[in-house]
Amino acid sequence: MAPRIGIVLAFFEACAFGFVCALHLGAHVEILGMTLSAPFLYPAAIVEGILALALLLAVVLPGDLAMRAGRVLASQILSVIGIFVTQIALLRGALFAVAREELFYAIALVLALCSIALVASPMTRRARITHNRA
């Protein structure tokens, strides 16, 4: 059960990375009268697009649960590395990050770490207890 939850978390993370990638490429989204937009950051958009694609392919490519969990684990490790690379690049470029963007990267990091923990957890099954009536 836990690996399946980790795989679902990876799907939601892929959708979030794709959405933020579109925002960094200049998309404007209106939700309930609020306009969501982000500054043009092409390098961040490229990294986020690659991470979204890697996570999405890990989830949707066919395979049994163990194979899919292995792909999700590898793409989540790539995702954690990508988040740190993006943060270091933003700091090095002397861009002052908006709290909204920092919040997204914090949530993405928590989702990635939770997904890694759930996917890497050992699969356990309960043994059926049968009672012999004599």
Specify the pTM.
0.80
For residue 134 the two structure tokens come to 């004599």
Q: What is the pLDDT of residue 41?
A: 79
The closest of 61, 64, 51, 62 to 115, measured between CA atoms, is: 51
d(CA 27, CA 7): 28
Q: What is the pLDDT of residue 66?
A: 85
Q: What is the pLDDT of residue 61?
A: 92
Per-residue model confidence as pLDDT tens for the chain (134 residues): 788 888 999 999 999 999 989 988 988 888 888 888 777 878 888 999 999 999 999 999 998 888 898 899 999 999 999 988 888 777 665 555 566 677 888 888 999 999 999 888 876 555 566 666 65
Length of the chain counted residue by residue? 134
Q: What is the pLDDT of residue 104?
A: 83
3-state secondary structure 47-92: HHHHHHHHHHHHHHCCCCHHHHHHHHHHHHHHHHHHHHHHHHHHHH
Q: What is the pLDDT of residue 97?
A: 58
Q: What is the pLDDT of residue 53?
A: 96
